[in-house]
Amino acid sequence: MGTVNTSEFRKGLKVQLDGDPYLMIECNFVKPGKGQAMYKCKLRNLLRGTVLDRTYKSGDSIETADIEEIDAQYLYRQGDQFVFMHNENYEQYELTSDQVDDAWKYLKEGMNCSMVLFNSSPISLTPPNHVVLKVEYCEPGAKGNTASNVTKPCKVETGAEFLCPAFVEMGELIKIDTRTGEYIERVKE
Going residue by residue through the chain, which has 189 residues, state the pLDDT in tens, using 9 for 90 and above: 688 888 888 888 889 988 889 989 999 988 888 888 899 999 988 888 889 999 999 888 899 888 888 999 999 999 889 999 998 898 999 988 888 888 889 999 999 999 988 888 888 888 999 999 999 998 886 666 555 578 888 999 988 999 988 888 888 999 999 888 898 888 887
CATH assignment of the domain containing 150: 2.40.50.140
Same domain for 8 and 58?
Answer: yes
Coil vs helix vs strand at 169? coil
Coil vs helix vs strand at 40? strand
Q: Show the 3-state SS of 112-159.
A: EEEEEEECCEEEEEECCCEEEEEEEEECCCCCCCCCCCCEEEEEECCC
Same domain for 155 and 172?
Answer: yes
Last residue of one domain, picked from the residues 126, 147, 162: 126
Domain range for 151 is: 130-187
Q: What pTM was estimated for this model as a whole? A: 0.72
| H-run or E-run covering 97 | helix 97-100
Same domain for 137 and 122?
Answer: no
Euclidean distance between the first and final Cα of the chain, in Å? 49
